[in-house]
Chains A and B, each alone.
Chain A
């Protein structure tokens, strides 16, 4: 180690002073540096500080581009994922003993669940109070006596851990319902592996793919079919952890579905896909069990699948974790775990929890009453949460609160647990000091994961770590001021060369038909709404520029009012403005940014964004940003009146954003079924709009100014000018915007593209007879190919528009969940 590096390291840790009452990762109780840290910091100090900072900057850029983000509960915005801290490093030997404790705890939880939902022996023998079980809202009685398909309640177990006062790891909360954080942990590692590939190699950091492969295998363990389809059930894009759910689905090759995508048929669970109903063999649920089945559990749930518990009863569906597994998250369980471990496993509990007393037990109640000042009082029935976040009463409580609680303890003591306070231990974090970087001790929360495989539990060599930027801030929930960190387990020997996750886990799969109908629907409408945004903007531009007049070179004098009136009329007809007779600037402003207008450009782009939110995993970060910028451009303050020139500038910039968006989806989207649906939506919408424009501006009585406007709306002025020397004339214009297969904005071009996209999508019937929507498309295509511009009068153009609308309906009816064959189920209403 060079002198410079030594000096650098010395400066980093010169002022590092952990709180004497709190265990710390870097400095052990003996004052010496713990296990893995000296080696890690030595290696890090060999890097120049500016190099380290540059690497973190590049990591942040990657996070932004990849669109890794999270939401704060109740907040509409997304926040870029805050990975900026040092990893938490742990020696392999220490990790191994921690992992043994985690495995044991997971196995114990499994045994408790199997007993509580089965024979109830533990309660009968007094090892576990019956009231602790019956009092948990997660004791789901409809699941009592239902053996979990595959034989296991738990497929994924997680524990929030920290160091107790004696420096040993302890479990602050068990997570068995639907643990989150795994996807973020994976993203953290992917980013750091790009940022510090050298460090991961030299420090022998244990790799994660093996764990994720085990998890994937475990998820389908016990499934009926040998090639099971595994679905990840999300509550949707507004879940605070949707991005990590999407990431997990992508990495593990799972189908990301929402409740609406699933349906019970013939006693089995199915996914509605664009290729029809497909059997779902295994479900990894990321929604709480209570919301899973509105028929048997929470009746108000819109997130679940009516009747899905039936598939568990008949054994045709494997679920991770089995509904009802949340029972063992109960706060009142921890006092009984040491005894249960001895009775059930014949072992002492390796990882303990902070000492606790359930107040439903007379001795426990007496202890808590006598020591109320020194304990944290928590709800007994609901899941424990780390760091006393659910504390009803802590040692610092006010007298009035104390009085309320004492009364509550008289009425229903069994609703409470008294627990020894467990402040979070600390780990080193970066801070920019006056003379460069330095390390400071900060409280952290660490979640570790174990996956159930055929041969037992496998603990992930890593975890999901969150670190508070300031002391006193609670890192257990992601929000501002909390950073996440990777967790490095340093092996004592070189680890096997990292294998690409995708290669190890997902077999290449190129077949279409795996796209849920709902996703196809969203993609289709994303295409339609972006195209509709463009059409409105182009109309507004035509209105502001008076382009028709400029192009109508054979008309002398003042532009006619007729064309202008037609533009205005169309904007009103489309719902972009409430009154076609508004002054020029006011009309343009309302059509662009009118919040109250369902047909304004702003309304369409908002709708496109809503569709896009559901498509995050399929949309590049860049496309997402362009869409956000476009929304900003169309979000002018409506109380101000803007000048024509300002609005023109806005509209032009908005138009170039729309084009950029189209380019990005065209260039960056995988040519899977998803892309076909975006393009189908875009092409159909463009075809329909072009017909509308043609009826208005290239109709039987169209003047030169109308025709000029028509060319402008189709962005065809230059092409037209190059082909025809004379000014705009009816037949050539109609030919160019309707029939010319070489003009990318003509209707013929759209219909040809639509036909190609439809051919690429899966057919439902294998008998070779084209389905209705394909026959429709072929019919329109043939009609256009044989048409002549002279014969295309207003009526013919209006008929063409109707045919395209019908084709759009046929596509929706064939592929989407919202089609007439798959109406959304409604609850039977009323007190029956």
Chain B
């Protein structure tokens, strides 16, 4: 029974990783840029979640607004941060991205103060018996449900809509997509909107689970999400999702069984190193 409980906790954590990693892997697929500043948007989402909920009393409204606002901030970050340096080597964009990420932590500190902020009355804290004695808070159940709905929606978008099909085409061969009449710029803006909105959703969920947000809450997710998209095979959406869930579960079991040897957050990298020794292009890349 303990194993099932650990597994469930791992999947919950993995769902959050998946929401963060999705935007990162999409941006990499389209632009070949490691968008480290993505984690700043996760933090911003967390802050907006707490502040809007505290102001309005509605977590649902907070989630919706956080996703929309952060989505637009993501689009702006593409326009202001990456667009002017697209023709430069990817390393330039990576350095710019790291710079923005570090600066954003300070901006959060200046605007929201150096200390953590919590929900005035934390929503969804009732414990529910989900499976013969395994108790989960409503918040945890919501994390899994939300991730499931968003990722399902994303899959529908990618498979069934013209925008989704054109996006997948642009990832493979942007020049040919353009010659087919796809405005690749529009695609990029859409992807930044969706990816950033998902990161915001993850931020709200984490703020709910921990009942706090702080300026540095994006630090650990930023490097872990990088490890995840490398594991999943850079640019692969399916790979990133599976790698997210795997990492969540491995961390969950690892903390119990190797907790005295390795810190939880270093497990991601131990796992990354191990996998890359066997499959240098990630778990899910062909060939």
Do A and B belong to a common assembly?
no
Instruction: Please report A residues at the B interface, Cβ cutoff 8 Å.
Output: none
